[in-house]
Structure 1
């Protein structure tokens, strides 16, 4: 059984969920304001879906407060 917290997504899915560009995602990661990627191979990285979705929800909540 797959735990929802362990679902991995690749960059195209991250871009679709966040509507951010690749460069924006990597810049935010560098600034510590976006979930870090996980290396699963020499040239393959993924993100945890629940972390990306939580980041999106946090941004929406912050916008509603403002």
Structure 2
């Protein structure tokens, strides 16, 4: 008896669904795509842009593992002493 293999269905997501999954700005996602750090979008039609759901989920899982392993480089803490506008007031000098 032959065993039937079900074809795997590729699911795609549109921009609004991607925003629900990945809380990054459109420009950030675009920049990351250009650098090869995020799954590439593709066009179904001239007006319909989609991402492969499996690729996006794999990217999220990779980021989760990197974060847990402390491999994600974090932004430095800003030095508020160097601000040009709204400098902090020192309590001793006020």
* TM-score normalised by structure 1 residue count: 0.88
Aligned Cα root-mean-square deviation (Å)? 1.5
Picking from 41, 45, 49, the partner of 2:49 is 45
How far the C-alpha of 1:21 sits from its partner, in A, is: 1.1
Task: Give the number of aligned pairs.
Answer: 65
Larger Cα-atom Rg:
2
The alignment status of 1:3 with 2:8, answered yes or no, reads yes
Stretches of structure 2 that go unaligned for 5 or more consecutive residues are 1-5, 71-94
- 1:29-44 matches, within 5 Å, as 29-44=33-48
How far the C-alpha of 1:2 sits from its partner, in A, is: 7.7
In 2: Cα distance, 1:24 partner to 1:42 partner:
22
How far the C-alpha of 1:38 sits from its partner, in A, is: 1.4
- 1:15-26 matches, within 5 Å, as 15-26=19-30
Distance 1:11 1:2, change over 3 A: farther
* TM-score normalised by structure 2 residue count: 0.64
